[in-house]
Amino acid sequence: MRAFRDSRARVEGVSAPTSAGAPVTIPATGFPVERFTLPNGLRVVLTPDRSAPVIAVGVVYDVGIRSEPQGRTGFAHLFEHLMFQGSENLEKLAHFRYVQASGGVFNGSTHLDYTDYYETLPSNALERALFLEADRMRRPELTAENLANQIAVVKEEIRVNVKNRPYGGFPWLLLPPVMFDTFANAHDGYGSFEDLESATVEDAQSFFSTYYAPGNAVLAVGGDLDVAGATALIERHFGDVPARTVPTRPSFAEPDLTSERRAVHHDAMAPLPAVAMAWRVPDPVGDLSAYLPYVVLAEVLTDGDASRLQERLVLTDAIATSVSGYLGFMGDPFDVRDPTALLLQAHFPPSVQAETVITAIDQEIERLAGSGLAPGELSRVQARLAAHLLREVDAVLGRTLSIAVLEQQRGRAELINDLPHLLAEVTAEQVVAAAQTLRPARRAVLELVPGSAQ
């Protein structure tokens, strides 16, 4: 792992005792965080790192797939595309040209609970990136022509990524409607063609006016910056973006399952059958200490050849070709709000029955819940988790987007420094207690069958 070079982003060792082996020493980062709020409500977080002449700019809006109104599935993602189609002072494709001409890269992405836009550039192009993001925050070019061509682009993306790809949408699009009842949690975030085609410019304008207010966003800037200079540039470019009413975020809560739910999906292009299952977990924002054992549990079960399910299903019984587990339907445990889930999935040979795989998974979970962790098992998993988190934030873009989301969802950008050692403080007893909650009566199961439905 590359050491952090800036003295303000130092690495210190934190040892956490475990009851299943020797203590694990986890590096603790010290990334600095500066914050302020503009009069229009825009929250700003800065994380300077002068080790390389690179800057990252990210804007995270508090709107995602769960915010879409009924009849407008896929609209959050569609609107992300529209934000690249020109703005108040820039014609279509100008954003692309200005970033690329500066030697930078850019993109955006839509998640369950937020939408982000970002650039990475040489640090001398900071003002250019700020101008570009402020200009489309002020007024994107929402026209009938732009809407029509981006609907076509999104439909093609759905064809490529879902309809004409093996395991397209499995399980992230297909399992939520098995597990959840409410439209917000269960609907197809990519969107139906019917809903996309019926979207209007008025819908887009209303969506922008409601969710893209400065007070509904967090701007994060990381890398080679001077705090005073960056603050002045941010005030210059974002300060006159008009304030608007910030929407009240609704509760998306719904009751946990009290009996197992199952569904079958037929995939004509899939070469192998598969199964996915999910259990609700504690609120990752409101009850982080109860949530973290499930993050560790998913790794104990599936991460690496020494993990419980890899060893049993793939290496010993040879009833699966692959096994994976993770928190959140989109795979990132720390950028999602409640309700969310722990997912396990496995692909297996046609000669194996899905029930055989499900039974083996149940047996391994029961063994863990009854007998506990082996010596050294917890510290090994915690070290792997910490390495993964540290690798993600080593690059300036990953770090900048992480602090933006942590600030948006928790008001705690500094949590970026705490997560590795908080995971190292999870005890074996907590992991076992989490495993004991993974009962069949609380889960949703989706079986994927190759071939068309008869």
Pairing of strands 115-122, 217-223: unpaired
378-407 pLDDT, tens digit each: 999 999 999 999 999 999 999 999 999 999
- CA distances (Å), origin 81, targets 47, 115, 151, 157, 302: 28, 11, 9, 11, 35
Q: How far apart are CA 250 and CA 445, in angstroms?
A: 28
Q: What integer pLDDT is reported at residue 229 of this predicted model? A: 98
Question: For residue 112, which of 63, 178, 168 has the smallest C-alpha distance?
Answer: 63
Length of the chain (residues)? 454
**Which residues in the chain show pLDDT less than 70?**
1-24, 454
At residue 332, the pLDDT reads 87
Residue 317's pLDDT is what? Answer: 98
What is the SS3 assignment for 62-86? CCCHHHCCCCCCCHHHHHHHHCCCC
**65 and 76 Cβ atoms separated by less than 8 Å:** yes
CB–CB of 191/78 below 8 Å?
A: yes
Q: How far apart are CA 383 and CA 389, in angstroms?
A: 10
Q: Which of 65, 89, 272 is nearest to 186 (CA)?
A: 65
Query: For residue range 144-188, what is the model confidence (pLDDT) as tens digits?
Result: 999 999 999 999 999 999 999 999 999 999 999 999 999 999 999
Contact (Cβ atoms closer than 8 angstroms) between residue 222 and residue 400 = yes
pLDDT for 453 equals 80
Q: How far is CA 87 from the centre of its chain?
A: 27
**CB contact at 8 A, 59 and 417:** no
By three-state DSSP, how is residue 40 classified?
A: coil
Integer angstrom CA distances of residue 358 from 31, 149, 294, 365:
43, 44, 19, 11
What dotted CATH number matches 261-450? 3.30.830.10
Reported as half-sphere exposure (CB side, CA atoms, 13 A), residue 100 has a value of 6
What are the sequence ranges of the domains in the chain?
31-238, 261-450
Nearest alpha-carbon partner for 331 in 171, 178, 116, 165:
171
Q: pLDDT at position 377, please?
A: 95
276: closest CA among 329, 339, 350? 329
pLDDT at res. 221: 98
Fold of 31-238: Cytochrome Bc1 Complex; Chain A, domain 1 (3.30.830)
CA dihedral 155, 99, 406, 67 (to 10 degrees): -30
